[in-house]
Amino acid sequence: MTPFTVHTGRVAALDRVNVDTDQIIPKQFLKRIERTGFGPFLFYDWRYETDGRTPRPDFELNRPAFAGASILVAGANFGCGSSREHAPWALLDYGFRAIIAPSFADIFFNNCFQNGMLPLAVPADTVRALFQRVAVAGPSGYTLTVDLERQVVSDADGVITSFSVDPYRRESLLLGLDDIGRTLQQEAAITAYEARVADGRPVA
């Protein structure tokens, strides 16, 4: 997966709480077996009219100021509901690299890290301030920089907030490795161990 070190991108604001995974990627799209191609169906029921093609002008992500956004700011308990890994797949395929919210559902939170996307839980007051800055920026759009190396979020005016990521998860994102990738770093030792077992030699 793509390493995450420092990312600067346009911000989209989704000022809604309890955004569940069925809204992020509805169940009818879960038949796909690939990890890619889910972006067009992200927030499908909110994003399109009933014909499934016409964008709803009142849905947040359809605003021109949010075009090309790669950082999503949302309300509390983002990613609640079912544990479908397709939810981070859809967000990532759409173009998001980081999600900032006061809190996340636990399984969704973990799935983001496993797919190279950074979920940041920051104080609710900070999220509210970000919503306000997005509103003030208007059609010109608002840009943030998320620095995982320094663990800070900043904009053109300076640092907005600091954050802390579990050291193992932080290192995995910086290296661009999921759990399987981390395991494969020990491939030589694993192969040697298996060879000793196959030969009946002591493994200690």
Nearest-Å Rg of the Cα atoms of the chain is 19
Percent of the chain with pLDDT over 70: 87
| Domain hosting residue 51, numbered range | 6-175
pLDDT digits (tens, 9 = 90+) for 164-196: 999 999 999 999 887 666 555 555 555 555 656
Q: Within a domain: residue 200? A: no
Q: Within a domain: residue 118? A: yes
Give me the mean pLDDT over the 193-201 stretch.
61
Domain count, the chain: 1
pLDDT digits (tens, 9 = 90+) for 85-110: 999 999 999 999 999 999 999 999 99
Q: Within a domain: residue 63? A: yes
Give me the mean pLDDT over the 46-61 stretch.
95
**The CATH number of the domain where 79 resides is what?**
3.20.19.10
Angle between helices 167-175 and 106-114 (to 10 degrees): 40
Give me the mean pLDDT over the 46-59 stretch.
95
pLDDT value at position 202?
62
Q: Within a domain: residue 182? A: no
Q: How confident is the model at residue 56 (pLDDT cuts 50, 70, 90)?
A: very high
Q: Within a domain: residue 180? A: no
- Cα 118 from Cα 139, distance rounded (Å): 26
pLDDT value at position 176?
87
Across the chain, mean pLDDT equals 91
pLDDT value at position 192?
56
